[in-house]
């Protein structure tokens, strides 16, 4: 009988709506990061580096790009005879069929997948964090403590603690209390959304809670196990871990990669991050290129100026163009003379000649002030910005826009243009 000690279930079905137009056509885990990677590459690489060779990836929102990226798992050595990576979309059942209504509900709907590997432990991961972590070490601690469930936590600044789910523990790491976004936190250990469960315990809990609407790990399963077993432990992680769930944190975390010695160093051999890369060619800097404090992906060709920016693969920056404090994802094109300041330009978007992005002063967003609340210009995948237009700060554009979409040749700060079609 097939037997895996621990399998991983990676929750990758969320929209990540706080990334605005970046996730209009792709799920958050498939959003590019660091000039080469997708966000999901980090948990997937952590799995193989931790000897977890069986991973179920739960997809729901806009899965095409994610499915294409993962394929049969070759870049992560997850194309296995037994195990490997399996994409798990929601599926129709005889009787009640439903979408994945919550994190735990999604796992519950895939009990048959997990059963087929007969695991002792299940690792629950989410596809929206940037970090390197040895899940094997966490498993050791889980076993040693005699826990039914172990939650990875990290110490956060006390001033920030009120933004997180906080765990209060005793000196053995045993959880004694939960506080969800507490006004006066008793601890600064924040949950990272990474769990290890004894499989049978999890199975029983999910079955017990099957009728809970929107069944969620943090809200339902963990409190249930805490109540029923009392054996929920925290595993303290002290490495680099970043949630890239908002435009600002996404931008900042990318920008940290350009530091002289980044806190999160991808240039060391140990604990490699793998990805499905399309381009093999080296990057080319033209005769008049000026590139500094930046990372530039393979196959990119730069003729203009790039400063404090992260560029993905096959990006083109034309002569006389300037890209400053920006993220350009794979295949983005900045034509001659365009100026791109503090912008996030998603895959394949094209910025027309002499267009100017990030001009003027901050204005509150007229689209969604919760999502767009910084100076950032955000351009969705496959968008087209026509020649010569001026785009203000805190703006969002998605789709193929034309000159007539810009009254007086400008989109003022806080504005947005959302069009249906993007270019392919």
Partner 1 sequence: MKAVGIILAGGGSDRMKGLTDIRAVAAMPVAGAYRAVDFALSNMANSRINTVAVITQYSSRSLNEHLNAPSWWGFGRKQGGLYLLNPTITPESTNWFRGTADALIQNLDFIKERHEPYVVIASGDGVYKLDFDDVMAKHVESGAQITVVCREKEDTDSERFGVIEVDGENRITAWHEKEEGAAGQYINCGIYMIRRLRLIRLLEECKRRGEYDFVRDVLVKNLEAERIKAYVMDGYWKNIASAQSYFECNMDMLNPALRKCFFYDYPRISTKVDDFPPAKFNDNATVRNSLVAGGTILNGTVENSVLFKKVYVGDGSHVRNCVLLNDVYVGDGVTLENCIVEKKVKIEDGTCVIGDPNNVTVLS
- Residues engaged in binding partner 1 (CB under 8 A): 34-36, 74-75, 258, 260, 266-267, 272-275, 277, 279-299, 301, 306, 311-314
Closest distance between partner 1 and the C-beta of residue 380, in Å?
22
Closest distance between partner 1 and the C-beta of residue 225, in Å?
38
Closest distance between partner 1 and the C-beta of residue 282, in Å?
3
- 188 vs 180: CA distance, rounded Å: 12
Q: With the C-alpha atoms ordered 40, 308, 248, 333, is the resulting torsion angle positive or negative?
A: negative
Whether the CB-CB separation of 12 and 127 falls below 8 Å is answered with yes
156: tokens are: 């956060």
- Comparison of 331 and 392: residue with beta carbon closer to partner 1: 331
Whether the CB-CB separation of 6 and 53 falls below 8 Å is answered with no
Name the CA dihedral angle for 180, 185, 188, 190, rounded to a multiple of 10 degrees.
Answer: 0
Whether the CB-CB separation of 149 and 225 falls below 8 Å is answered with yes
- 46 vs 134: CA distance, rounded Å: 7
- Comparison of 192 and 310: residue with beta carbon closer to partner 1: 310
| Closest of 123, 126, 129, 163 to residue 14, by C-alpha | 126
Closest distance between partner 1 and the C-beta of residue 51, in Å?
18
- Comparison of 34 and 399: residue with beta carbon closer to partner 1: 34
Q: Could you tell me which residues are beta bridge partners of residue 302?
A: 285, 317
- Residue 88 CB neighbour total at 10 angstroms: 23
Closest distance between partner 1 and the C-beta of residue 283, in Å?
5
306: tokens are: 């790039």
- Comparison of 44 and 205: residue with beta carbon closer to partner 1: 44
Distance, first Cα to last Cα, the chain: 46
- Comparison of 133 and 296: residue with beta carbon closer to partner 1: 296
Residue 363, Cα to own-chain centre: how many angstroms?
27
| Closest of 60, 205, 216, 35 to residue 127, by C-alpha | 60
- Comparison of 146 and 282: residue with beta carbon closer to partner 1: 282
Closest distance between partner 1 and the C-beta of residue 2, in Å?
25
- Comparison of 13 and 312: residue with beta carbon closer to partner 1: 312
Closest distance between partner 1 and the C-beta of residue 297, in Å?
4
- Comparison of 286 and 360: residue with beta carbon closer to partner 1: 286
- Comparison of 72 and 369: residue with beta carbon closer to partner 1: 72
Closest distance between partner 1 and the C-beta of residue 285, in Å?
4
Distant-in-sequence, close-in-space partners of 346: CB < 8 Å, separation ≥ 6: 21, 22, 31, 32, 329, 332, 378, 379, 380, 381, 382, 383
Closest distance between partner 1 and the C-beta of residue 56, in Å?
23
């Amino acid at each position: 009988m097939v037997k895996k000690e621990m399998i991983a279930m990676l929750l990758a079905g969320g929209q990540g709506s706080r990334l605005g137009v970046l996730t209009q056509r792709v799920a958050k885990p498939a959003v590019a990061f660091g000039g080469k990677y997708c966000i999901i590459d980090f948990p997937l690489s952590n799995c193989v580096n931790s000897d977890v060779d069986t991973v179920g990836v739960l997809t729901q929102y806009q899965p095409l790009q994610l499915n294409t990226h993962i394929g049969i798992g070759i870049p992560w050595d997850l194309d296995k005879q037994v195990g490997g990576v399996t994409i798990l979309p929601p599926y129709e059942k005889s009787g009640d069929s439903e979408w994945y209504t919550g994190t735990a509900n999604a796992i519950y709907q895939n009990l048959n997948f997990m059963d087929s590997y007969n695991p002792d432990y299940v690792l629950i991961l989410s596809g929206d964090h940037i970090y390197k972590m040895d899940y094997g070490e966490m498993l050791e601690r889980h076993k040693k403590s005699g826990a039914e469930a172990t939650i990875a936590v990290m110490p956060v600044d006390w001033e920030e603690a009120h933004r997180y789910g906080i765990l209060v523990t005793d000196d053995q790491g045993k959880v004694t209390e939960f506080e969800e976004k507490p006004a006066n936190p008793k601890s600064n250990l924040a949950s990272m959304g990474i769990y290890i469960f004894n499989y049978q315990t999890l199975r029983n809990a999910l079955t017990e809670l099957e009728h809970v609407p929107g069944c969620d790990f943090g809200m339902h399963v963990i409190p249930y196990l805490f109540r029923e077993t009392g054996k929920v432990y925290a595993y303290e992680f002290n490495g680099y871990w970043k949630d890239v769930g908002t435009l600002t944190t996404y931008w900042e975390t990318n920008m940290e990669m350009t530091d002289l010695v980044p806190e999160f160093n991808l240039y060391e051999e140990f604990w490699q991050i793998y990805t499905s890369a399309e381009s093999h060619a080296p990057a080319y800097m033209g005769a008049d290129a000026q590139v500094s404090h930046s990372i530039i992906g393979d196959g990119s060709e730069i003729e203009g100026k790039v400063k404090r920016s992260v560029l993905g693969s096959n990006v083109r920056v034309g002569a006389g163009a300037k890209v400053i404090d920006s993220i350009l994802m794979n295949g983005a094109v900045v034509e001659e003379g365009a100026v791109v300041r503090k912008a996030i330009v998603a895959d394949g978007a094209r910025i027309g000649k002499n267009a100017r992005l990030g001009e003027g002063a901050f204005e509150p967003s007229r689209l969604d002030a919760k999502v767009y609340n910084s100076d950032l210009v955000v351009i969705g995948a496959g968008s087209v910005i026509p020649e010569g237009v001026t785009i203000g700060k805190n703006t969002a554009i998605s789709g193929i826009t034309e000159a007539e979409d810009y009254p007086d040749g400008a989109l003022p700060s806080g504005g947005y243009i959302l069009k249906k079609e993007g270019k392919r």
